[in-house]
Structure 1
């Protein structure tokens, strides 16, 4: 089974809207600013920005996710703007002039090489306004590799009797992580896996600088805790121009 097929029906239970995440994404934006939510899933953050008059557009490779996002927007009386597209083709489906691009949920590392990630970052900076920035959130792969971590915390959703197990197997020769998941809902289990590129913080910063970003900040949470070796996520804000 394809990885996101087991998530789509329960996505908003497994990855619910987080106020701290939204506040981080929202900070510094004004009504009529153009924003692109890459790998938007079911569009919760895109819709929330739209409610505040921010011209947010959600992009996702999974057509089923986009259909859910469009339905959610309609139910909330919001004019949604959602596109089915590969993240590497975002310049083909958006005209640019963006104040912010954000890609969260460990989505960037679904690209399987440094060259693909470099291509994404280069495209992103070209789509941004002069005062624009790129927000990235991934898992802290420095820690994953150093400590040989083989799983992430299991997600429990007791109100619907759901558990979501997440296991990592690192292939040193291929330099890829096999991310296998097991979703159990009311006693029935489905499994899927996907390969991820274990992008280290130093590699990401280098690619951002090489692309031309002039100011880069690293955080260990959406509450702006400092990024350390023990942080679970790595969150990066890369500004096109110095503040």
Structure 2
């Protein structure tokens, strides 16, 4: 049985690229470049690369980037986008929990909930962090965004999503204070105009959890910040107003 995120990205590629949350690529890549000091020798892995927006932009700027995603349809679009931009990029289908790399990369990025924290169990989500850590060399850095568990304590996730999405509707949201999981009914149309209804389940994390998980993987330097679309910055202190958090960690 397919999970909701697998069903969603079977035929939701063109719609995905038009969503508001995919429009901040340039500013996000500017930030990534600053975090690696514009070092063109930096080897980068983009986990949950989707249609390749960060992978392709980083490649345009002269970096060696590998993109992985679970969805074959997303990867086909990524390859098409790369070809249209004049690049041949190493895009691979892989499960983020079991990446085929060991110590190969200087930087791993996981942005816009490309895998973590969509898994059905906390253990599965942790396996994604483990796999990303395993892909890094001993001086590597991990940059990812994830859902901020402080946000739903003070705000309606349903209202936030419905106000910020062009083509999807959330309803029946139930945020569980014991598990920090939000379960909801997701309605949209796929790329062919067919109605798509999914029962979704997403995990929100609080900063202390993220810190503990990363320290258990051997990371020493851990920074957690507010996350603004297309405007990542270490100057943004995480607050209850941030739907996502930006995490930057290294050994």
Structure 2, unpaired ranges of 5+:
none
Contact 1:3 1:193 in 2 (8 A): no
Structure 1, unpaired ranges of 5+:
none
- TM superposition score normalised by structure 1: 0.84
- Given candidates 7, 12, 16, the residue that maps to 1:7 is 12
1:127–1:18 distance in 2 versus 1, CA, 3 Å: closer
Identify the residue that residue 215 of structure 2 maps to in structure 1. 209
- Given candidates 95, 104, 111, the residue that maps to 1:97 is 104
Identify the residue that residue 223 of structure 1 maps to in structure 2. 233
**Is 2:90 the partner of 1:81?**
yes
1:229–1:88 distance in 2 versus 1, CA, 3 Å: same
**Is 2:135 the partner of 1:127?**
yes
Three-state SS of the structure 1 residue aligned to 2:98 is helix
**Is 2:69 the partner of 1:63?**
no
Quick one: distance in 2 between partners of 1:174 and 1:202? 15
Quick one: distance in 1 between partners of 2:111 and 2:149? 15
Identify the residue that residue 47 of structure 1 maps to in structure 2. 56
Quick one: distance in 1 between partners of 2:24 and 2:103? 26
Quick one: distance in 2 between partners of 1:148 and 1:156? 14
1:236–1:175 distance in 2 versus 1, CA, 3 Å: closer
- TM superposition score normalised by structure 2: 0.82
Three-state SS of the structure 2 residue aligned to 1:109 is coil
1:113 positional shift: 2.6
| Runs of 4+ more than 6 Å apart | none
Identify the residue that residue 198 of structure 1 maps to in structure 2. 204
Identify the residue that residue 236 of structure 1 maps to in structure 2. 247
Contact 1:88 1:119 in 2 (8 A): yes
Root mean square deviation, CA, Å: 2.6
1:184 positional shift: 5.4
